Amino acid sequence: MIVDLPDTTTSAVSKALVKIREEGGAVALGRVLTLVIATPLGEEEEAIEAANDASREHPMRVIVLSKSIDGTAKDDSRLDAQIRVGGDAGASEVIVLRAYGDTASDEEGLVTSLLLPDAPVVVWWPSHAPARPSASPLGKIAQRRITDAAEAANPVQALKDLGSHYAPGDTDFAWTRLTLWRAQLAAVLDQPPFEPVTAVTVSGSSDSPSTELLAAWLQLALEVKVSMEITSPGHGSSGIHGVRLERASGPIDLERILPNVATLIQPNQPTHDISLPRRNLRDCLAEELRRLDPDDLFGDVVQRGVSELGAPARHPAKPRETATPLGDASAGRAK
């Protein structure tokens, strides 16, 4: 069901929600969090679809705040709202707020009265994120703040800016997209022979901040210098291409040649084809909502690891007789 409320107020939206709940049943009960999605006008539907899919794992209230990002909207100051419940909202309830003119300037005020009481707040900027998420009006009221550097005009620079202004609770989908890569690399190095990695090469396209983060994580975890091979995007070659780990017994290569399949080549072992699909918005969002406390490892990687890329290893590689330091990537909140 979709209820349109043109030229309205947040108080009227709250009353409409109560009425819908009374007439249609316990719509707002059992929600575990409030997800606030901040998008430019006209770009909200893809994010809403991802949130609806993720809500089947995390029942929640979704508040979508859409406004002009450049302040050039000529419309009179007003707020148009839309409430979606039932089949149009997955396992959530969706409140779409389209703000025009001066009304759009008070982001916090627009959403505050619509937040679920005593429930965590997560803010997600699918495209245009503020330079300092934690200091933004919406970021100040959130326990978790999700950005996506891949959508920025300069993805790698956006990642560096996030590291400069990082605050506990910040995260980025460029990190979430590494879950399968990190888990697979951890599994490979967690098998004998337990030899030290002496060099690492990470290859990917220039529009992939995930490539940068993967290289930074490997350099921090393995304490070896990581080289990067960057190519221009195009013809389906975006994203991470592969990783080579050099050891005394020979190199380990994990390459993604096809969009959803990677090839694993190891010394004295048969070649394996491994499922390594590109993660969609739904998968990334659902993973980020599973745990709402700060991701300390991401904070370490984005603050120190990215800035140290290309620098010499901090310590010489040491022989290991037990599991690799990457072993924790396949357990808990693997990224």
Contact 174, 159 (CB under 8 A): yes
Predicted local confidence at residue 323, as pLDDT: 43
* Phi then psi dihedrals of residue 270, to 5 deg: -65, 155
- Residue 3 three-state SS: strand
Using DSSP, state whether 285 is helix, strand or coil.
Answer: helix
Percent of the chain residues topping a pLDDT of 70: 87
Look at residue 325 in the predicted model and tell me its pLDDT. Answer: 57
Please give the residue that has the higher pLDDT: either 245 or 257.
245
Read off the tokens for 51: 């949130």
Encoded tokens for 169 = 């609770």
CA distances to 57, 82, 237, 335 from 175, in Å:
21, 32, 19, 7
Residues 10-53 have pLDDT tens digits of 999 999 998 988 886 645 457 899 999 999 999 999 999 999 99
Could you say which DSSP state residue 310 is in?
A: T
pLDDT value of residue 75: 59
- What's the CA gap between 64 and 111, in Å, rounded? 9
Among 66, 114, 63, 62, CA closest to 92 = 62
Q: Could you read off the pLDDT of 55-91 as tens digits, one per residue?
A: 999 999 999 999 987 655 555 899 999 999 887 777 7
Reported pTM: 0.90
Which amino acid appears at position 209 of this protein? P
Which of 28-32, 213-217, 248-252 is predicted least confidently? Answer: 28-32
Is pLDDT at 335 greater than 90 in this prediction? no
**Edge-first strand listing for the sheet containing 226-231:** 226-231, 199-205, 240-246, 252-258, 261-265, 272-275
Q: What is the mean pLDDT of residues 296-316?
A: 79
* Dihedral (Cα; 191, 296, 151, 37), 10-degree rounding: 130
pLDDT per position as a tens digit, 154-177: 999 999 999 999 999 999 999 999
Q: Read out DSSP for 209-267?
A: HHHHHHHHHHHHHH-S-EEEEEE---TT--SEEEEEEE-TT--EEEEEEETTEEEEE-T
- Interstrand relation of 240-246 and 252-258 (parallel, antiparallel or unpaired): antiparallel
Q: Which amino acid is at 66?
A: S
Amino acid letter, 31: R
The pLDDT score that the predictor gives to residue 251 is 97
Q: Give the tens place of pLDDT for each residue, 176-201.
A: 999 999 999 999 999 988 999 999 99
Cβ atoms of 285 and 123 closer than 8 Å: no
User: What's the confidence (pLDDT) of residue 22?
Assistant: 82
**Stretch 248-276: mean pLDDT, rounded?**
94
Is 1.10.860 the CATH classification of the domain at 179-330? no
Q: At what angle do helices 209-222 and 179-189 cross, to 10 degrees?
A: 30
Domains in the chain: boundaries: 2-147, 179-330
Strand order in the sheet with 144-147: 2-5, 78-84, 93-100, 60-67, 33-40, 121-124, 144-147, 170-172
pLDDT at 329: 54
Check if the beta carbon of residue 69 is closer than 8 Å to that of residue 128.
yes
